[in-house]
Each structure stands twice: as C-alpha cells, then as structure tokens.
Structure 1
Amino acid sequence: MNVKKIIAPTMQAALAKVKDELGDQAVILHSKMIYDGGFLGLFKKKKYEVIAALDENPVIPKPTVKNKQRKIPQQANVEVRQAQTGVADNVLAELATLKKELKTVKREPFFIRHFPEPIQACLLHLQKADVADQHIEEIGQQLLEKWRQSPTPPEQADVFSWCKNIMIERLGPFQYKEINEMKKYINVVGPTGAGKTTTLAKLAAVAVLEHKKRVALITVDTYRIAAIDQLKTYAELLQLPLEIAYDQHDFSEAIKKFADYDLVLIDTAGRNYRELEFVHDLKGMFGETEMETLLALPISMKEKDLEIIVNHFQQLPFNYFLFTKADETRSYGAMYNLIVDNQRGVTYITTGQEVPDDMIAASPERIAHYVLEDETI
C-alpha cells in the first residue's frame, strides 16, 4: 500500500495534491490542522496535514454466482445476530460518550493559539467568563504589545494584571453614577424576574439612609397585585409615600404631588419586553417627564436574550444598566460585553435579596474584578 503525508496551506490544496500524486482512487486516512514555523513561539502559520493511501494491489471482487441458498444452522444465525448487535451497541455507546464530551468542552477560538502561553491562559479565562470572542482578540493584541515591550520575561500574574488594566481602560469612557448623582425622576425597567421592585427598594433605602434625601415612590406595575403589596411594604418600612398610576393621567398627577421631593423612584411592570409594544406603552406613560431610566438585567439570563431586551429598550431609551442577580452566576463576561457593545455605563450591581445591603456601586474596576476573579490572580 502506497501511503503519503501531504502538508498544504489549505485543505483544498492538500486534497488536490493527494489527487495529483495518488489519483482518484486514493483514500484519506487522517487529516488535521497544524501550526509550524514562527519565531520564539510567535507568528506560527496554520497548515493542514493529510495522510492518504492507495492500495497498489487491490482485491478485485469475484462476480457473484447465484447459487441455491444453503441452510445455515440456527445456532450460527444466533451467533451472527449477537455479534452484529454487540458491534452496534459499542458504536452507539462510543457516540453517546463523544456527544457528552463535546457538550462539556467549550469551543476554543483558533486565534488564542497564536499567542504565547501565559497570554493564552488569560484569554481562556476570559472565554470561560463568557467574554465575546471579538473582545478577547482585541485584549489579546494589547497584551501581546505589552509582552513585546516587557524588559524581562513576563509571568502569568503579570499578564493577568495587564489584562485587568486593559479592561478598566476600555470600560472607563462610560458613566458609573450612584443614586445621589442622578436626576430627580428615576425609573427602573426590565424583563420579568429581573428583581426590579426589590432593587427599587434598595435604591430608596440608600437615598434615604446614606444621602438623607426626601424620597417618594410611584408604581405603574398594575399587572401584579403582589408587586404592589411588596412595594407598599417597603414604603411603610422606609416611611415613604407611594402612588399607584393606572394610566398616564394618574402618572402626571403623581408627578405633580411629589414636586417638592428630592427624588422620585418609579417601578414598572415585569412584562415580556421582547414585545416592542410594551416598551412603547411605557414611553407613552412617561410622556415628557425628564427622567433617567435604569435597565435592570439579571446576569444569570442568557446573553442572547439580554441582547434582545437591550435592543428593544433602545426605543425608550435607557441611560444606564443596573445588573442584578450577580450571586446566581459565575460567568460575568456579559456585563463587559453589554457595556462596551452598547457604550452605556452602570449604576449598581445587586448580589442578593437583602435590602439595602446586597447592592454595590458599579465601576470599571469592579466589573474587571468580577470578570477576572480567580484564585490564581
């Protein structure tokens, strides 16, 4: 048997070379992507290795002659069926194992392999945290520049430190305001299950207890009796006035009633905001009232769903993100992706149900810490 190993820059080129050298009857035994060349582990080129073979003395099958069917002993039939069943079971078991392994192994972008190993380790950490591939590659290029400029061989801890500083710098241009720095009227919007009402109570408690502001509450969430009762309980505990607005007229009257207050916080319904009509309803309710809108997003939700919600709320529009349920996940890359992709800042990050304790002010340093948090850092 004639066996050849072919290396070419593309798979198409490799297959063409196999055909030229071995002919149309060649059989591909194995193929894989390889990297070779480069200098000091850098600038390696991607190539394809193909192992092909051609049997120079093929066994030509004899023409079949129709004979009388021989009677095979029953025991032999049983043994053949058992052997076939055993092979099939083994194949199915191996396929099931392979599928299970593929589900647990996260895809590694090819570009990560082009970087020195300490940088690769950092970029893989970002991937594990669900930072988008585009951002990982951009951060990787900046890390490589620092690597080249380093007077001494950098260690992994150095690379992670550089990465944190790069992330802080990229997050820096956006605003990170706390409650005492915002406008008088603030409304909290977001999808069902984002924890808006509890978060609104936390904002009210911070404003009252830490900044000594006169705070009033308005709710336009008239779809859920439980939400109104929950907000009433918080209002009683903090001794704050609360108005319920069923329509735009009620909302306008509540705004007039609280004209002398320092801060008015507005709770909204947890509806399916993948439907644009609900966003338009809110916009109509608020009218011309000058306010700041905080979009509450649970970080435990799938990022694709978060992106749909963000795109729909561009119609309102919203001013800041308010990330909730950070205690319910270990993947914080979505925070970084959403901030950079939408060029919006953040107010707070909530970490539990306790009012007002489980809420921290957001900052570029805080976001970077969440994404890069690791025992090896």
Structure 2
Amino acid sequence: MKVKRYVVDSLPQAMEQIKMELGKDAIILHTKKIRIGGFLGLFGKEKTEVIAAVDQKTPMLAETTRIDKPLKPSNTNVLLQEVKDLKSFMVKMMVNENETIHFKTVYQNEMKEIYKRLIEQGVKEEVAVELLEDTIKRIDQQENKGKIIEEVKQNLINRMNAKHREIQDKTKILHFVGPTGVGKTTTIAKLAAEQVLKYKKRIAFITADTYRIAAVDQLKTYAEILNSPLEVVFSPQETQRAIDKLKDYDLIFMDTAGRNYHNEMYISELNRILAKTDASETFLVLSLTHKYEDMVSILGQFNKVKIDKLLFTKYDETLTYGAILNIISSFPYKISYITNGQNVPDDIEVFNVEKLAKAILGV
C-alpha cells in the first residue's frame, strides 16, 4: 500500500493530483484544514491537507500455477506490515494534531499577542517563529503570561549578548563608514568626547570626507572643542602620513565620505584610503530609520570593506527596532553603540541588549 500526503488550496485540486499520481483506485483516508506559516497555526495561509492511499496489487498468478501450493508467506507478511505502517502513520498524525491543539489551548493567547508584537516591530516571520518556538521549549505549561513574556525577553537578551562588543583595548585607529545621511560625523564626535571626558584618552581626528566642505568644518569645530588635532587627507598616501604624524595619540578617529554605496568605484576608493592594521577597527554606521531591506543591501556592499562592528543611529527617530534583531540573527557582525539624539556627547550609549529587548516586546 502506498500512502501520500498532499497540501493544496482545495479538495478538487487534491483529487486531480491524487488521480494523476496514485490512479483512479486511490482512496482518501483523511482531510483537514491547516495553516501554513505563522506561529502555532496563527496568521498563516489556510490550506487543505489530504492523506490518500492506493493498494499496490500483487500481479495475478499465471494460469499454469498449481493452486494446491500454499501462498508464499512473504507476500502475506508484506501486506500485514503495510497495514501496520498505515495504522502507525494515522496514530502519529492524530497525536501530532492533538499536541498542536493542546499547544494552542495553553499558549495561543499569550503567544499570539507576543508574535503580533514582534511582527509589528519589523521582526522577520522566520526569526519570530524560531524565537518563540525556542522559548516554548524552555517554559512549563503552567506558567502565566507574565512569565512567558519574561522568558521571551530573556531569550532575546541571550541571543543579543553574544553580538555585543565595544571598542577593543588594543584598538588604535577607528574607521567610520556608511551611506549618506546616517550621522557619521556627529557620531564620531560623541564617541571621541566620551573617550576624552570619561576615559581621559588623548585622541586625534582624520577626515577623508572632502566631498562636503561642511563635514570638514563640522569635525574641525569638534576637534577645537576637544583640543585635538585634525588631519584632512585625499589619498592613501596622505592617510598613512597622517597616521604617522598622530602615532603618539591613544585613539585616532577617521571619518569618511558618505556617498552612494551602490557605486562600486566609491567602495574601491574607500578600501584604498582606509589604514587597516591589526590595531584598527571599521565601524559601519546604519540609521534605524532605514528599511531592513535597505540595511541588508548596505551590508552587502560594505562587506567588501571588511566591517568589524555595526553602530546604529537615530534610535530616537523610530518606534520599530526589529531590524536590529533580524541583522543579529542573519549576520555575524557585533553591535557596538546606539545613538539616540543630536546632543554631543550625551546621546550615545553602549548597545544595551536588555533595553532593546524591552523596546521590541513593549514591556
């Protein structure tokens, strides 16, 4: 006996496939409505599941065969085994269905609310489903909603903690790259001021952002406030000379031009002008006001520059933060800092995983 499962939009569609694949003698053993996608059957597309079977008949014996010989036991055993397998299959299917119903009864209201919140926050469906399924494995069926959402929050924190990294102690040169309008120069000023005021570091600036006069003037103003030198460079050779000149400083912050990242020539120029060493780090600056799909495109282009860490800006200009979780789930990069305003040096903080988890879950 041959048994096959079909998932289709309608029963007539299933009948057509069954007739084509199993033949006109096939029989339908089971049908039910199911949902594909979503979480625990929620928010998915409605489909019809059909289980069909056909008896694989043994060819008729030739007329010359003696009828007084007993049937080979192997044929009987095969048929009995097929019947047992079919019964086992149907029992498993019923058990799975009952487990799903029980799952929904216990968790549906709580998880439906959390799942909906994740999707509203821009978390990808597959990331949300994987997170919640993993969380369900960790909790008892008797726990209340408050505990469930705490478990989801802790699961989020655990996932994001592994992707959290500040400036390393050995780092000497910090490169900042990214598309236009993400706030690289202001972010550099915030980090530099923190290093001077909080950690008493001696810092210096290099800028290769010579395409915007305002950018040079802006960084020059910050350099004067912090009583730090600024070097303007136009080529890889000038970059190296500037680094040699500033070698006695604890940290060198290097700004770069924010141009069209789809331009391959710009990426090549950027690669050449950066002074990459074992003591350097390259930060890709991304704005949280960008769509997740745009962030993925930016990551793809700047991957050619060899990014070490990500830095997110404009946290205060959005109410959806799921893109960060999507990136953490899909890319190997560490998250370093998040900016949340225009004030220098106040509006920047080390990536706070608990704060982000609470913001995503709305707790």
TM-score (norm 2): 0.72
Q: Distance in 2 between matches of 1:341 and 1:225?
A: 37
Does the 8 Å contact 2:335/2:351 carry over to 1? yes
C-alpha separation between the residues in 2 aligned to 1:337 and 1:47? 28
| SS of residue matched to 1:265 | strand
Counterpart AA for 1:124: K
Cα distance, 1:252 vs structure 2:
0.9
- Separation (CA, whole Å) in 1 of partners of 2:327 and 2:116: 19
Q: Give CA deviations for 1:283-327 in whole Å, capped at 9, x if unaligned.
A: 111255441001100010111111111111111111111000011
Corresponding residue for 1:146? Answer: 138
Q: In the TM superposition, what is the alpha-carbon distance from 1:275 to its structure 2 partner? A: 2.1
Alignment partner, residue 200 of structure 2: 212
Equivalent in the alignment of 1:121: 113
1:130-169 correspondence runs (5 A): 130-147=122-139, 149-150=140-141, 152=142, 154-169=143-158
Q: Which amino acid aligns with 1:320?
A: K
Question: How much has 1:143 moved relative to structure 2?
Answer: 2.6
Task: Provide the rounded CA distance (Å) in 2 between the counterparts of 1:14 and 1:218.
Answer: 70
How far apart are 1:368 and its partner, in Å?
A: 1.6
Letter in 2 for 1:145: K
Within 1, Cα distance between the matches of 2:41 and 2:292? 33
Q: Is the Cα–Cα contact under 8 Å of residues 337 and 351 in structure 2 kept in the other structure?
A: yes
Paired position in structure 2 for 1:13: 11
Matched with 1:348 is 337
Q: Which of residues 151, 163, 175 is equivalent to 1:187?
A: 175
Distance 1:10 1:164 in 2: 37
> How far does the alpha carbon of each residue in 1:237-293 deviate from its partner, in whole angstroms, 9 at most, with x for none?
111100000111211110001111000000010111122321221111125544100
SS in 2 for 1:146: coil
| Kept after mapping to 1: 8 A contact 2:338/2:349 | yes
- The structure 1 residue matched to 2:350, chosen from 361, 364, 373, is 361
Matched residues in 1 for 2:41 and 2:211: separation? 59
**Quick one: which amino acid aligns to residue 118 of structure 1?**
E
Q: CA RMSD in A?
A: 2.9
How many percent identity over aligned positions? 36
Cα separation, partners in 2 of 1:122 and 1:236, compared to 1, 3 Å:
same
Matching residue within 270, 273, 295 for 1:282: 270
Q: Who is 1:228 aligned against?
A: 216
Structure 2 counterpart of 1:329, from 297, 301, 318: 318
Displacement of 1:194 in angstroms is: 0.5
How many angstroms does 1:209 deviate by?
Answer: 0.2
Residue 47 to residue 134, structure 1, CA distance change in 2 (3 Å): closer
The residue that corresponds to 2:29 in the other structure is none
Q: Are the aligned partners of 2:190 and 2:344 in contact in 1 as well (CA < 8 Å)?
A: yes
Unaligned runs of 5+ in 1: 1-7, 19-32, 37-41, 50-111
Contact 1:185–1:266 under 8 Å retained in 2: yes
Contact 1:324/1:351 (<8 A) preserved = yes
Tell me the distance in 2 between the aligned counterparts of 1:252 and 1:192.
Answer: 25
Task: Give me the whole-angstrom Cα distance separating, in 1, the residues matched to 2:7 and 2:276.
Answer: 61
What CA distance in whole angstroms lies between the structure 2 residues aligned with 1:326 and 1:368?
14
Displacement of 1:336: 1.1
In the alignment, is residue 269 of structure 1 matched against residue 269 of structure 2?
Answer: no
Matched position secondary structure for 2:283: strand
Deviation at 1:370, TM superposition (A): 2.9
Give how far 1:353 is off: 0.4
Q: CA contact under 8 A between 1:217 and 1:241: conserved in structure 2?
A: yes
* Aligned residue in 2 for 1:39: none
Preserved CA contact (<8 Å) 1:296 1:321: yes
Q: Structure 1 CA distance, aligned partners of 2:347 and 2:276?
A: 33
Residues 14 and 143 (structure 1), Cα distance of their counterparts in 2 relative to 1, 3 Å cut: farther
Q: Give the gaps of 5 or more residues in structure 2.
A: 1-5, 17-31, 50-102
- 2:229 matched to 1:241? yes
The yes-or-no answer on 1:295 pairing with 2:284 is yes
The answer to whether the 8 A contact 2:176-2:256 is kept is: yes
Q: Taking structure 1 as the reference length, what is the TM-score of the superposition?
A: 0.69
Question: Residues 38-117 of structure 1 correspond to what in structure 2 (within 5 A)?
Answer: 47-48=47-48, 116-117=108-109
Corresponding residue SS for 1:116:
helix
